């Protein structure tokens, strides 16, 4: 299924596996790439040397294009960009809008730049700065999210920019892909659906918690790091919701110390990143400190298999997912269903009308 996105990136299918911290590692990314979709490696929870090693591991497992996701406000963003360029990574995606300078540097090296955004104005800004594509996530998506549903946000962005738009938030199957294409998107991105595959390294017990969840079990809380964060409701999340501000800040201090040890960052590096985060997101110092909770609470669940001690970021779509296919099986299923959905649209096969997607067709 050829779209402006598949032409831009060089993948067979207009599907993207998002860069989920502690989840989107070499095994998942390479499996996604080999299935014909775009896998994106999550680098925010890696050191720079770990990132280079992970990129090389993915490259050893697949010849297909893949991407790396990084934080534009990280103090070592320039070093990470250098790794992406030197290792020949096809796509650089960003959780926040990268600077004009970073975009220009990547584009000069032939890297496709694809920031993630949650508002029309942000899409217009990065498009004006030279971004090649944009991933737009509606409020149904997991992790940090906004209040506007994908079905409302997506057409706004499609109408506002003239670069390929990838839709995220609420997608799991071929019907969703066709719906996104009808809105004008060039593909869909999925996090939770790829997390729940046999190629994901998330512990089986944690995957079972996702599979058991209903749509109503997936909530948005600001108690983890001060920002709206969509995740599975658990006893820990309920406890966080009821905790006071002082308890939350004390927990954040402990997690900041743990994250510094885990990442190998110095205190000065951590402070520089905090300052950049405060400026980039217009946060209070309390919110900046709370941000230290996120990587460590996610790690407890996604790596250590302890949902009682960690949190599980999740899109609302988890309430509709019931199995753990391989990435190859998932991608094949989605594309088969997409073609079936397209063929089944009213009038798609009516006599005297060109097929959907053909010149003059619907």
CA distances from 214 to 219, 237, 321 (A): 11, 16, 9
Mean pLDDT of the chain: 88
Is the pLDDT score of 356 beyond 50? no
Superfamily of domain 4-201+325-343 in the CATH hierarchy? Aldolase class I (3.20.20.70)
Task: Domain ranges for the chain, please list them.
Answer: 4-201+325-343, 215-316
Of 303, 314, 302, 287, whose CA–CA distance to 229 is shortest? Answer: 314
Q: Of 172-186, 267-281, 320-334, which gets the smallest average pLDDT?
A: 267-281
pLDDT value at position 225?
78
Supply the pLDDT for residue 296: 81
Q: What is the CB neighbour count within 10 angstroms for residue 278?
A: 16
For 35, what's the count of Cα atoms within 13 Å in the CB-facing half-sphere?
27
Q: What is the pLDDT of residues 130-167, one digit of tens each?
A: 999 999 999 999 999 999 999 999 999 999 999 999 99
Are residues 209 and 232 in contact, defined by beta-carbon separation less than 8 angstroms? yes
Looking at residue 245, its pLDDT comes to 61
Kindly state the average pLDDT of the residues 287-302: 76
Long-range contacts of 120-128 (CB under 8 A, 24+ apart): 120/153, 120/156, 120/157, 120/160, 122/97, 123/157, 123/160, 123/161, 123/165, 124/160, 124/161, 125/97, 126/97, 126/98, 127/160, 127/161, 127/162, 127/163
pLDDT digits (tens, 9 = 90+) for 296-308: 888 889 999 999 8
pLDDT score for 11: 98
Handedness of CA 63, 335, 14, 210 (dihedral sign): negative
* Percent of the chain with pLDDT strictly greater than 90: 71
Write down the pTM of the prediction: 0.87
**Per-residue pLDDT at 247 exceeds 70:** no
Residue 232: pLDDT over 90: yes
Which of 121, 154, 152 has the alpha carbon at shortest distance from 136? 154
Name the residue among 23, 78, 73 with its Cα closest to residue 46: 23
**Statement: residue 290 has pLDDT above 90:** no
pLDDT at 273 over 60: no
For the cut 90, the answer to whether the pLDDT of residue 348 exceeds it is no
pLDDT at 246 over 80: no
The residues near 160 (Cβ < 8 Å, ≥ 6 apart) are: 120, 123, 124, 127
pLDDT at 226: 79
Longest dimension (CA), the chain: 70
- pLDDT band of residue 211 (cuts 50, 70, 90) is very high
Predicted confidence (pLDDT) per residue in 57-106, tens digit = 999 999 999 999 999 888 899 999 999 999 999 999 998 889 999 999 99
pLDDT score of 193: 98
pLDDT band at residue 279 under the 50/70/90 scheme: low
Res 269 pLDDT > 70 = no
Q: Give the pLDDT band (50/70/90) at residue 357.
A: very low
> Is residue 358 scored above 60 in pLDDT?
no
| pLDDT of the residue at 361 | 43
Residue 168: phi and psi, rounded to 5, are: -135, 150
pLDDT reported for residue 224? 82
């Amino acid at each position: 299924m050829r779209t402006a996105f598949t032409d831009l990136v060089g993948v067979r299918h207009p599907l993207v596996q998002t860069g989920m911290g502690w989840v989107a590692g070499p095994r998942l990314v390479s499996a996604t790439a080999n299935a014909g979709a775009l896998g994106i490696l999550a680098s925010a929870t890696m050191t720079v040397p770990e990132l280079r090693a992970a990129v090389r591991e993915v490259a050893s497992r697949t010849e297909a294009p893949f991407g790396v996701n990084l934080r534009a406000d990280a103090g070592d963003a320039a070093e990470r960009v250098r790794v992406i360029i030197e290792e020949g990574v096809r796509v650089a995606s960003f959780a926040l809008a990268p600077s004009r300078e970073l975009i220009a540097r990547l584009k000069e090296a032939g890297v496709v730049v694809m920031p993630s955004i949650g508002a029309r104005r942000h899409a217009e800004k990065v498009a004006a700065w030279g971004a090649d594509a944009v991933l737009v996530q509606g409020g149904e998506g997991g992790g940090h999210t906004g209040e506007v549903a994908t079905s409302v946000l997506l057409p706004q962005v499609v109408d506002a920019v003239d670069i390929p738009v990838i839709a995220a938030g609420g997608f799991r199957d071929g019907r969703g892909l066709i719906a996104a294409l009808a809105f004008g998107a060039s593909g869909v991105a999925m996090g939770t659906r790829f997390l729940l595959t046999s190629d994901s390294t998330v512990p089986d017990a944690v995957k079972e918690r996702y599979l058991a969840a209903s749509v109503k079990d997936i909530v948005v809380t600001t108690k983890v790091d001060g920002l709206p964060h969509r995740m599975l409701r658990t006893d820990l999340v309920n406890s966080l919701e009821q905790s006071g501000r002082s308890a939350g800040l004390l927990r954040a201090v402990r997690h900041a110390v743990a994250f510094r040890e885990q990442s190998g960052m110095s205190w000065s590096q951590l402070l520089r990143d905090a300052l950049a985060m405060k400026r980039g997101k217009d946060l209070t110092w309390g919110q900046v400190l709370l941000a230290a909770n996120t990587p460590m609470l996610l790690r407890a669940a996604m790596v250590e298999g302890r949902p009682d001690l960690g949190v599980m970021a999740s899109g609302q779509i988890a309430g509709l997912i019931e199995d753990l296919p391989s990435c190859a099986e998932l991608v094949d299923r989605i594309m088969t269903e997409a073609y079936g959905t397209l063929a089944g649209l009213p009038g798609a096969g009516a006599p005297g009308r060109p097929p959907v997607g053909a010149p003059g067709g619907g």
